[in-house]
Structure 1
Amino acid sequence: MQLPHSLTWVGFDLDGTLVNTAADICAAINTTLEHYQVGQVTVDDVQTWIGNGIDKATERALAKVGATHIDVSAAAAKVSAAYNQCVTDSSTLYVDAKATLQALQQQGLKLLLVTNKNESHTHALVNALGIADYFDAIVCGDTLPQRKPDPAMLFSALNNLSLDISEGIYVGDSKNDVATARNAGCPVICVNYGYNHGLDIADANPDKIITRLGEVETLLAAR
């Protein structure tokens, strides 16, 4: 893996990369499905739907239970409201997440959080889990009209800090994150434990696959 010679920033995805959020998202979806009396889904189901925002996850849930007659936008609004009530109930940081962010910050690197999760849920999570202060920029799924894999979100974070795309790397867990980095023009590292729509992350051809976030610090130290 070829790392930038002059490294100034590291960007991160949230769900499936830094935080295991599937159980709380599943709870919000099931609360909504219960409202419509159309069945329930499992955490295993939800893990394959995360990464494209609440609207898409809701659409997939409705399809799973055979309720495609229900308006997706209305149902997604109910999921979002239900998620407001449980967003921090069961979600936990992955191994090495906080330690890695702390170590990179201490090295003087700028840290970016670029996620398709909406702003209210993102900020609730990072504040509750004690990682908000590590990020120099946070761009969410409803911050801009565009979402990943459109690179506009990553460029927005970089522009806010006067950073260059050629001086950093992006860390994620899915083919969506790989496409984001490729579209932006920077290297991408992927964890192998996240939410990649039920697919092997190797199929997305990231520049490096890691098993725990602590490996990011190791890779950067070896450059």
Structure 2
Amino acid sequence: MNLGRPHAAIVDLDGTMVDTLGDFVVVLNIVLGELKLPAVDRAFVARTVGKGSEHLIRRTLEAVGAGASTYDDAWARYQQHYSRINGAHAIVFAGVVGGLEALRRRGLPLACVTNKPTGHAVDLLRGKSLDRYFAVVFGGDAFERKKPDPLPLLKCCEALGTEPRDTLMIGDSSNDAQAARAAGCPVVLVTYGYNHGEPIRDVDADGFIDRLDELQLA
């Protein structure tokens, strides 16, 4: 795995730094219960997260047999409950703090780019004491398009003042890898994330790590 000497790094949030499945399961099932719809399990959520809250809610409603007309109500309830529960059932993955510390010791400016809404991302990072590592945080509502579109990564590179080829993307899914490839960023994927239920090592990436603190740079 030869990643050269990156000048900055972009790090995904859900499934890369923080295991947030517990939050998603709890919030979705509160909403479904209020709408008198069947519950979903952790395995379903693990296959479905990663493409933004809108996608998660639509897929969940489809899975439980709810009509499209339910979406607006479900969306409003989801936002209300998620703001209250955000981080309560989530844990920082082992090796994340050490990995971020190592990147910071190298003098690399760090950014978090996630498909989670920016407000929720900022609150989660602060709640888990990870916010101090990041110069900027961009959520799924920051730009016109989300990952796997390259736009968030390109805009993030502009904010960091680095070229994409010199900006390492660290994520957990094909969303992150596809966005990085299209933007021209090198990309490393963690093996413990979600990746829509698909084998992570089948994804086109420059390397794979089992813990963030195992990342080796030139």
User: TM-score, normalising length from structure 1?
Assistant: 0.94
For residue 102 of structure 1, what is the aligned residue in structure 2? 101
1:15-57 Cα offsets, whole Å, 9 max, x none, are 0000000011111111110111011011121111111111111
Q: Distance in 2 between matches of 1:71 and 1:181?
A: 34
For residue 207 of structure 1, what is the aligned residue in structure 2? 206
For residue 196 of structure 1, what is the aligned residue in structure 2? 195
> Aligned letter for 1:159?
E
For residue 78 of structure 2, what is the aligned residue in structure 1? 79
> Aligned letter for 1:39?
P
Is the 8 Å Cα contact of residues 146 and 152 (structure 2) preserved in structure 1? yes
For residue 63 of structure 1, what is the aligned residue in structure 2? 62
**Structure 1 stretches (4+) deviating beyond 3 angstroms?**
none
Q: How does 1:56-205 map to 2 (within 5 A)?
A: 56-205=55-204
Do structure 1's residue 2 and structure 2's residue 28 form an aligned pair? no
> Aligned letter for 2:3?
L
Is the 8 Å Cα contact of residues 8 and 160 (structure 2) preserved in structure 1? no
> Aligned letter for 1:3?
L
Query: Match of 1:116, SS?
Result: coil
Q: Distance in 2 between matches of 1:2 and 1:96?
A: 21
How many corresponding residue pairs? 218
Query: Match of 1:48, SS?
Result: helix
Question: What RMSD in Å do the two structures reach over aligned CA positions?
Answer: 1.2
> Aligned letter for 1:139?
F
Tell me by how many angstroms 1:70 deviates.
3.9
Query: Match of 1:11, SS?
Result: strand
Q: Distance in 2 between matches of 1:133 and 1:69?
A: 40
Q: Distance in 2 between matches of 1:208 and 1:68?
A: 41
Query: Match of 1:194, SS?
Result: coil
Q: How does 1:33-72 map to 2 (within 5 A)?
A: 33-72=32-71
Is the 8 Å Cα contact of residues 147 and 176 (structure 2) preserved in structure 1? yes
Q: Distance in 2 between matches of 1:179 and 1:36?
A: 35
Is the 8 Å Cα contact of residues 139 and 156 (structure 1) preserved in structure 2? no
Is the 8 Å Cα contact of residues 151 and 184 (structure 1) preserved in structure 2? yes
Tell me by how many angstroms 1:69 deviates.
4.3
> Aligned letter for 1:186?
C
Percent of residue pairs identical: 33
Is the 8 Å Cα contact of residues 139 and 154 (structure 1) preserved in structure 2? no
1:190-216 Cα offsets, whole Å, 9 max, x none, are 111111111001221211111111111
Is the 8 Å Cα contact of residues 55 and 73 (structure 1) preserved in structure 2? no
Q: Distance in 2 between matches of 1:69 and 1:149?
A: 24
Tell me by how many angstroms 1:2 deviates.
3.2
Q: Distance in 2 between matches of 1:7 and 1:21?
A: 28
Is the 8 Å Cα contact of residues 113 and 138 (structure 1) preserved in structure 2? yes
